[in-house]
Structure 1
Amino acid sequence: MPAGTITAIRQQSNDPQRVNLFIDGAFALGISLNTLVRERLAVGVHLDEAGWERLVASEQADQALQKALRQIERRPRSIAEIRRYLQQKGFSEETCAQTIARLRELGLLDDADFASRWVANRRALRPRGVRALRAELRQKGIAPAVIDAALESEDDGLSEGERAEAVARAALPRYAGVADWAAFQRRLGGYLLRRGFAADLIRPLLSRLWQELHPGADGLD
């Protein structure tokens, strides 16, 4: 550990929010202005081994927080997503936990809010079945109870069958020209399955839509 006295603090040329720290005339570490202020560092301050370790930990915590904030700025994230991201960046479990705790304290990480917004956004812009929504949120690391609460709080008043029909009718122009029932069933049915609707809802819906397209058609086996 480069214990010693801080002899210079110089702003980095490529990042005005960071400085280079020199101890006993030699470069020691690049740190953020946040760390500089938080640790009350200045020329003439002496760092012993414990002080150096505290400084390194403080800088790691600041880097983790800044990286996490940039991820959240791009789009809302779940707690598990941020944890995985920080782990991939090589931060320790302790630093990950501290960063998540700080973001939750600031109100920037909230799985309940994330899940509710996810369901509302999907239902408004990319409708899909409950199974798909549950699977997506599980992949985001959201707890089952939180998923249940989000689905309940963002209830659009439609049954799953009504949602499936709305999605099917929106997609129907793409499949209306399919002249063969088996191909129609396979293609539009596959589309609905991929959007998380159950097979027992899809089959009668496809039959009804096919009959509308081809009145009097039979042989729907």
Structure 2
Amino acid sequence: MIINSLIRRNNKVKITFDDSSSLYVNYNVAVQFALRKGDVLDEHILNRLRKADELFEIKAAAYRLIGRRDHSSAELKRKLLKKGFDDSLIDELVKELSEKNYLNDFNFARKYSEEAVEKKKAGINKVRNELIKKGIGKEIIEDVLNDIDDNTMLENARDLLNKKMKTSAFIKTESRKKKQKLFSYLKSKGYASDLIMKLLSEYDFSDDE
């Protein structure tokens, strides 16, 4: 196929061939291939051109996503797949971004867990479940969670407990139900049963009424 014309439209270039068919590619891809009127493009070159164009679009979408916030490798791949991009090209890009350290699952997991614990006072189990959802590997998750200080978790749980106990709904709760209510509350926040029981042992609800 022979290129009859090249017309730039914003960031795209419309390539029209001698058989009246046309193809749109990103301007940067057209420059990369040094396309000119009169060039002959066989099927092999056309396939390379299409692949390069889609890879450029995938990269642009990926950089927009990771520019807004950090992503795990699996999380980024899922979002790109939803946009309809080719699976193998996404894998190629994810590998490239990982090699350049734009994607780093360990750093992502560590930052995510630190923010979840410090800002949201999430328990270990909740953090673990969220990291699993984001596609982080088991070894990385356990390495990251092992670095979280037990005393920090205990103090966070105590802080949540004290705030909960000041709410009008809790104050109105029957004394015999208060301990179970607090246990369920901290459990829903992702705290381990042994930590919750250790904390609740510090409180006596028998004389509340």
TM-score computed with the length of structure 2 as normaliser: 0.85
Contact 2:8 2:14 (8 Å CA) reproduced: yes
Letter in 2 for 1:198: A
TM-score computed with the length of structure 1 as normaliser: 0.81
Q: Where does the alignment leave 5 or more consecutive residues of structure 1 unmatched?
A: none
Q: Where does the alignment leave 5 or more consecutive residues of structure 2 unmatched?
A: none
- State the partner residue of 1:165: 158
Q: Percent identity?
A: 26
| CA 1:117–1:181: 2 relative to 1, 3 Å | same
Give the Å deviation of 1:176: 4.4
Give the Å deviation of 1:23: 1.6
Contact 1:8 1:25 (8 Å CA) reproduced: no
Give the Å deviation of 1:181: 2.8
Letter in 1 for 2:142: D
- State the partner residue of 1:114: 108
Give the Å deviation of 1:30: 1.7
| CA 1:93–1:216: 2 relative to 1, 3 Å | same
Match of 1:47, SS state, is coil
| CA 1:183–1:35: 2 relative to 1, 3 Å | farther
Letter in 2 for 1:167: L
| CA 1:21–1:172: 2 relative to 1, 3 Å | farther
Contact 2:122 2:191 (8 Å CA) reproduced: yes
Residue by residue over 1:65-100, the C-alpha shift from the partner in whole angstroms, topping out at 9 and shown as x without a partner, is 111222212221100111222222333332111110
Match of 2:38, SS state, is coil
Residue by residue over 1:189-220, the C-alpha shift from the partner in whole angstroms, topping out at 9 and shown as x without a partner, is 332111111233324534644x3xx67348xx
- Provide the rounded CA distance (Å) in 1 between the counterparts of 2:175 and 2:36: 78
Contact 2:75 2:134 (8 Å CA) reproduced: yes
Letter in 2 for 1:105: E
> How many residue pairs get matched?
208
